[in-house]
């Protein structure tokens, strides 16, 4: 089996990094670049500014921290699953600091209630139409 991946399968980020959609954003994490960059219509939206790329990375780091409060004693594939993260077409999602998510197996209100105790003063956490909205700044 060939280990070669065609260059067309990679996302080229503003920093010059080339990442595969299934590559983890954070080492030993659960969130992949496709979680952040795929629009609701499954079309990749690549940031044009390096600051937005860094916002996505920092938001992923924070989501991984929040996930640790929810997914203790669960399998690695049971985690917070983003449904909308980086989008140029949706107001409020063009910087990489806002994300909508649910948990892969846990009830949304249970997840929300648990995470409320771990949100920092500069962060926002809200229940919205069946998902959880998180904003880092």
Distance between CA 46 and CA 65 in Å, rounded? 24
> What dihedral do alpha carbons 96, 97, 99, 104 form, nearest 10°?
90
Q: Which residues pair with 125 in a beta bridge?
A: 134
Q: For each of the chain's 137 residues, which pLDDT tens digit applies?
A: 446 788 888 999 999 999 999 999 988 888 999 999 988 888 899 999 999 999 999 999 999 999 999 887 777 778 899 999 999 989 999 999 999 999 999 999 999 999 999 999 999 999 998 999 999 98
Closest among 114, 99, 28, 102 to 64, alpha carbons compared: 28
Structure token pair of residue 45: 């939206």
DSSP string, 16-84: S-EE-TTSBSSTT-S-BHHHHHB-TTS-B---SSHHHHHHHHHHHHHHHHHHHHHSTTS-TT-SEEEEE
């Amino acid at each position: 089996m060939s280990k070669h991946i065609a260059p067309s399968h990679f996302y080229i980020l503003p920093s010059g990094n080339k990442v595969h959609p299934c590559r983890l954003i954070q080492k030993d994490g659960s969130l992949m670049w496709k979680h952040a960059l795929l629009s609701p219509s499954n079309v990749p939206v690549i940031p044009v500014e390096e600051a937005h790329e860094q916002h996505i990375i920092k938001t992923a780091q924070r989501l991984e921290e929040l996930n640790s409060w929810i997914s203790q004693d669960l399998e690695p594939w049971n985690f917070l699953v983003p449904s909308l993260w980086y989008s140029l077409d949706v107001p409020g999602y063009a910087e990489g600091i806002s994300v909508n998510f649910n948990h892969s197996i846990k009830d949304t209100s249970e997840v929300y209630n648990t995470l409320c105790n771990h949100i920092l003063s500069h962060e926002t956490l809200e229940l919205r139409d069946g998902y959880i909205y998180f904003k880092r700044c």
